[in-house]
Chain A
């Protein structure tokens, strides 16, 4: 197991300390925004990691759930008069239901077939969001009203930094609990060998479905936060490229490593910001860096570095 229980508490504690201390070196609100985005995407990546890293099921369409969560924050208040906090919950519930309904047939597929099926799912959601303009505002998107909790209107990058960091920590703790639960153990068995797991009495289909639903909820909440922090949501929140970006965060950071999801999200959010000094060459270099990391740290950043530090070859 990548992170033994004793390490986890220390890890979460250290993370909490870093989160609290980081703002001391933030020169401006821009850094709060980048930080908030890192935690929002890390939340989605953690959910996807449970699916891809622990259960071993590839999903190239997870941004579809980002989209459901995001548009719930726009459609709920604007079209249905539902307050934002309730829309957030509704979005999560809808994502869970969609994942439940689609999950059963989709998860019978394996490997690349599963990849293309999830890809198709994501694309379908994105197409619906683009085309149903009377509900979704079409390709130009919709504006998203502010989140108001008990008279407090959440505004500004600073507040979102704390909210998304806290939510990420909660999400990480929950993920650790899932991993340790019977479902989690079943997951790992399924990842190693579905045949062996089913022989041992693990309900493979139910385990995979449970994780698919859980990962969808993570993505939905992240998508809702994304819509709120931007005050605006467009269909490319659910697009193919966004799904690839999420998968890249998981793989880059390290499949099966919760900390890895945070690192992967941090890399893919911060790197494009730092590469802007290269202007026209930024995409070229981004591609090179992606390739380089995957070639030299092929388990992902965190597991490879951990293995190197402890002197073991995994």
Chain B
């Protein structure tokens, strides 16, 4: 029983990371139909900028805040300089642009920062909390709490504010939203900014557990994308659930099946789920107009 609990904690820890990345994918996709493969780089920028700003002598909380602002600026720049000029391009072209952006951001990070691994101090110390024979790091709970808070804040924003309604309208039908006077360009730019911010915050929260370096973005994007699709792209709840499920699959495969094949088992199960539920766990099927 204790080992089941330990695998569960491990799944939560890793899953929370994926959930936050998947959330970023979903936000941007909802507003613009773009799958942003640079999402992983937002996470990297948040963590690594904080590390380097702190190394330069800036107190940690301020460094974290600056890192988030910096990443948001990068997200906005990505939209206005790369995505917006290409509006009207096919979905695949837009994906290629974001892939080019992720290569660019990684290449810049390699020059501006360095290629080593870095960590950040955990918020509540590194002594694990022991419960039921298993141990979980306090920082894992921080990441989970962070994900929960972000989801709640997003829901409040979407449901209770006028701007939030505008976002929903843009997501539902951009042309119609534009016709009723919503500045859809700004809405999409906003979604990039918020996604970047979430990515950065995720990076800062998870770095004490996962460590960070200039190229963490690639694998995170891969898994975050898989998690977002598993949960059903377009649903914020789906993104979080997808991330947690992916983390659980990896942890339980590593524990009970084979540590060599844990990633393979996780992907296999994602494939099987998608075969059975082609729109993901919480996804809404798109009505295809003939």
Q: Indicate whether A and B are direct neighbours in the complex (CB within 8 Å).
A: yes
What is A's interface to B at a CB cutoff of 8 Å?
Answer: 52, 58, 105-106, 108-113, 115-117, 119-121, 123-124, 127-128, 131, 193-196, 240-241, 244, 247-248, 251-252, 255, 280-291, 294-295, 298-300
Report how many A-B pairs have Cβ atoms within 8 Å: 136
Give which listed residue, B35, B108, B225, contacts A284 with CB less than 8 A: B108
Verify A196–B290 contact, CB threshold 8 A.
yes
Return the CB mask of B230-267 against A: 1 if under 8 Å, else 0.
10010000000000000000000000000011011001
8 contacts between A and B (CB under 8 A): A112-B29, A119-B226, A131-B260, A280-B110, A283-B104, A283-B106, A283-B107, A284-B104
List chain A residues, Cβ under 8 A from B263.
123, 127
The answer for the CA separation of A30 and B176 in the assembled complex, in Å, is: 56
Smallest Cβ-Cβ distance to B288: which chain A residue: A195
Question: B69-85 toward A: CB 8 Å interface, digit per residue (1/0)?
Answer: 00000000000001001
Provide the residues of chain A in CB contact with B270, threshold 8 Å: 116-117, 120
Interface locus among B86-94, B126-134, B155-163, B186-194: B86-94
Interface centre among A111, A282, A298 (most CB of B within 10 A): A298
CB-based contact A116/B229 at 8 Å: yes
Per-residue CB proximity of B88-126 to A under 8 Å, as 1/0? 111111001101111111111011000000000000000
A290 touches B100 (CB 8 A): yes
Contacts A196-B290, A295-B82: A120 and B267 contacting too (C-beta < 8 A)? Answer: yes
Q: Given contacts A111-B286, A194-B288, A284-B104, list 6 more A-B pairs with CB under 8 A.
A: A116-B225, A120-B268, A284-B107, A284-B108, A287-B103, A290-B104
Q: Are B103 and A286 in contact (CB under 8 A)?
A: yes
Among A110, A116, A280, A294, which residue has its beta carbon within 8 angstroms of that of B96? A294
Partner of A124, one of B102, B105, B264: B264
Residues of A within 8 A of B271 (CB): 106, 117, 120-121, 124
Residues of B near A120 (CB, < 8 A) are 226, 267-268, 270-271
Task: Answer whether A283 and B103 are a contact pair too, CB < 8 Å, given A120-B226, A127-B264.
Answer: yes
Flag whether B278 is at the interface (Cβ < 8 A).
Answer: yes
- The secondary-structure label for the interface of chain B is helix
User: Which A residues are CB-close (under 8 A) to B280?
Assistant: 113
Contacting residues, chain B, for A117 (C-beta < 8 A)? 270-271, 274
Q: Which of A110, A281, A289, A294 contacts B278 (CB 8 A)?
A: A110
Pairwise interchain contact A290-B275, C-beta atoms closer than 8 A: no
Partner of A131, one of B103, B104, B261: B261
The 5 A-B pairs at the shortest CB distance, nearest first, are namely A287-B104, A290-B100, A283-B107, A284-B107, A287-B103
Given contacts A113-B280, A120-B267, A298 and B103 within 8 Å (CB-CB): no
B101 closest partner in A (C-beta): A291
Instruction: Give the dominant DSSP class at A's interface.
Output: helix
Nearest A residue to B84 via CB reads A295
Taking a contact as CB atoms under 8 Å apart, the answer to whether A116 and B99 are in contact is no
- Give Cα A188–Cα B236 distance, bound, in whole angstroms: 35
Q: Return B169 CB to nearest CB of chain A, in Å.
A: 22
Interchain CA distance A52-B125 in the complex, whole Å: 50
Q: Is the CB of A112 within 8 A of B229?
A: yes
State whether the Cβ of B218 lies closer than 8 Å to any Cβ in chain A. Answer: yes
**Alpha-carbon distance between A112 and B270 when the two chains are bound, in angstroms:** 14
- Checking B88, B99, B111, B226 against A280 with a beta-carbon cut-off of 8 angstroms, the contacting residue is B111
Chain B positions within 8 Å of A284 at CB level: 104, 107-108, 110-111
Task: Please indicate the chain B residues that have their CB under 8 angstroms from the CB of A58 in the complex.
Answer: 92
A255 and B90 alpha carbons, distance in the complex (Å): 10
Question: Is B279 at the interface (CB under 8 A from chain A)?
Answer: yes
**Contact with A281, one of B102, B111, B264 (Cβ below 8 angstroms):** B111
Inter-chain CA distance A287–B78, complex, in Å, is: 12
Are B275 and A105 in touch, CB under 8 angstroms? yes
Given contacts A113-B229, A281-B107, A287-B107, contact A295 B278 (CB under 8 A): no
The interface residues of chain B lying within 8 Å CB-to-CB of A109 are 274-275, 278
When distances are taken between beta carbons in the complex, the residues of chain B under 8 Å from A131 are 260-261, 264
